[in-house]
């Protein structure tokens, strides 16, 4: 089976993605440095619990969850504004069962899905109240009546950024086809609710590529309020199975 593509030209502007996802040389490092994805099985469990059959994976990145869900028989559409990450996603087993779309949630096909997900803390890339509210509205228009949105977001109280510049975040890892790549991260600013940081990667041969990111940390109160404002009912807020105490996992019904 060939991978399905959306052939309609999109009038929607593609959001900018950070270099770590959008630069082909950095995108190819993502899965290796991210390590085993112990976070994804619980999303599959929730999809089964909610009796979802179709899933929209928003900010799918290199497609780890999309292909896992497709392998389990879910009908999956996956969107991401980083073409380099999508190119990697398309090479994975079961990628031919996923409908891939380059862009943000507003580029997703209109056909409604039972479940929308944002794995890997995608919710934190939406920095302003306006952009987050817009995304939630767009998600709602793509859900079946009573469909669900499930996403995770780091707890501000866990102060994850304090661990990001420790030695434990610095590593040299062999990357297939490339060689040993050295990574380190610097915090650029902590001006809550925004945290900015820089990933640096030194490639064999000496090239150093950098990627700057900013994430928004929302409180539980803010998350619940934004979901309610967008017309979602919060069904449950859980601990992340793989990172207890560090993240909230929201299950919201449209
Ligand atoms: C930390 S990665 C998570 C990727 C994937 N969900 C995972 O679990 O591996 C964040 C992703 O959000 C994507 N992203 C950035 N801006 C976005 C936007 N406006 N809409 C949708 N996705 C976006 C990035 O390109 C990147 O792939």
**Which residue has a Cα nearest atom 15 of ligand 1?**
17
**Omega prior to 193 cis, within 30 of 0:** yes
**Helix, strand, coil shares, percent, the chain, to 5:** 30, 35, 35
Q: Residue 154 class from Cβ within 10 Å (0-12 exposed, 13-18 middle, 19+ buried)?
A: buried
CATH architecture of 15-156+219-253: 3-Layer(aba) Sandwich (3.40)
Q: Is 139 in the pocket of ligand 1 (CB under 6 A)?
A: no
Q: Whose CA is nearest to atom 14 of ligand 1?
A: 59
Query: Can you give the pLDDT at residue 222?
Result: 97
What's residue 3's pLDDT? 41
What averages of pLDDT result for each successive group of 10 residues across the chain (254 residues)?
40 83 98 95 98 98 98 98 98 98 94 96 97 97 97 96 81 95 96 97 97 97 98 97 93 98
Q: How far is the CA of 116 from the centre of ligand 1 (A)?
A: 14
Tell me the CA–centroid distance for residue 83 and ligand 1, in Å: 11
Distances (CA, A) of 69 to 1, 36, 43, 46: 17, 16, 9, 11
The predicted pLDDT at position 130 comes to 97
59 lines ligand 1 (CB under 6 A): yes
Q: Max Cα separation, the chain?
A: 54
**Predicted local distance difference test score (pLDDT) of residue 134:** 97
Cα dihedral sign for 188, 130, 152, 209? negative
> For position 7, what pLDDT does the model report?
39
Give me ligand 1 centre to Cα 81, in Å: 8
b/e 92-124 (16+ beta carbons within 10 angstroms → b): beebebbbbbbbbbbbbeeeebbbbbbbbbbbb
Candidate of 16, 17, 104 to mutate for ligand 1, largest count of ligand atoms within 8 Å of Cβ: 17
Q: What is the DSSP annotation of 103-136?
A: S-GGGS-SS-EEEEEE-TTGGGG--SHHHHHHHH
Query: In this structure, which residue's CA is closest to atom 22 in ligand 1?
Result: 59
DSSP state of 10: P
Q: Whose CA is nearest to atom 1 of ligand 1?
A: 120
Q: How many residues does the chain have?
A: 254
Query: What pLDDT is recorded for position 10?
Result: 44
Q: What is the pLDDT of residues 35-73, one digit of tens each?
A: 999 999 999 999 999 999 999 999 999 999 999 999 999
Per-residue pLDDT at 11: 53
């Amino acid at each position: 089976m060939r991978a399905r593509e959306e052939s309609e030209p999109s009038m929607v502007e593609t959001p900018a993605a950070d270099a770590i996802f959008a630069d082909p040389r950095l995108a190819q490092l993502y899965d290796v440095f991210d390590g085993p994805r112990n976070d994804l099985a619980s999303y599959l469990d929730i999809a089964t619990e909610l009796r979802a059959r179709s899933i929209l994976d928003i900010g799918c990145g290199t497609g780890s969850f999309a292909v896992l869900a497709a392998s389990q028989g879910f009908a999956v559409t996956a969107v991401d504004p980083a073409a380099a990450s999508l190119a990697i996603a398309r090479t994975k087993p079961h990628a031919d069962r996923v409908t891939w779309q380059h862009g943000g949630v507003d580029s997703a096909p209109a056909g409604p899905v039972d479940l929308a997900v944002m794995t890997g803390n995608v919710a934190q890339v939406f920095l302003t109240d306006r952009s987050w509210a817009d995304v939630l509205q767009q998600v709602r228009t793509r859900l079946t009546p009573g469909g669900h949105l499930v996403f995770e977001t780091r707890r501000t109280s866990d102060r994850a950024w304090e661990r990001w510049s420790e030695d434990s975040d610095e590593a040299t890892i062999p990357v297939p086809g490339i060689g040993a790549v050295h990574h380190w991260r610097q915090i650029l600013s902590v001006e809550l609710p925004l945290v900015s940081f820089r990933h640096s990667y030194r490639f064999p041969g000496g090239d150093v590529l950098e990627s700057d990111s900013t994430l928004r940390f929302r409180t539980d109160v803010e998350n619940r309020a934004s979901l309610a404002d967008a017309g979602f009912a919060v069904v449950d807020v859980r601990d992340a199975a793989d990172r207890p105490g560090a993240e909230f996992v929201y299950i919201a019904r449209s």
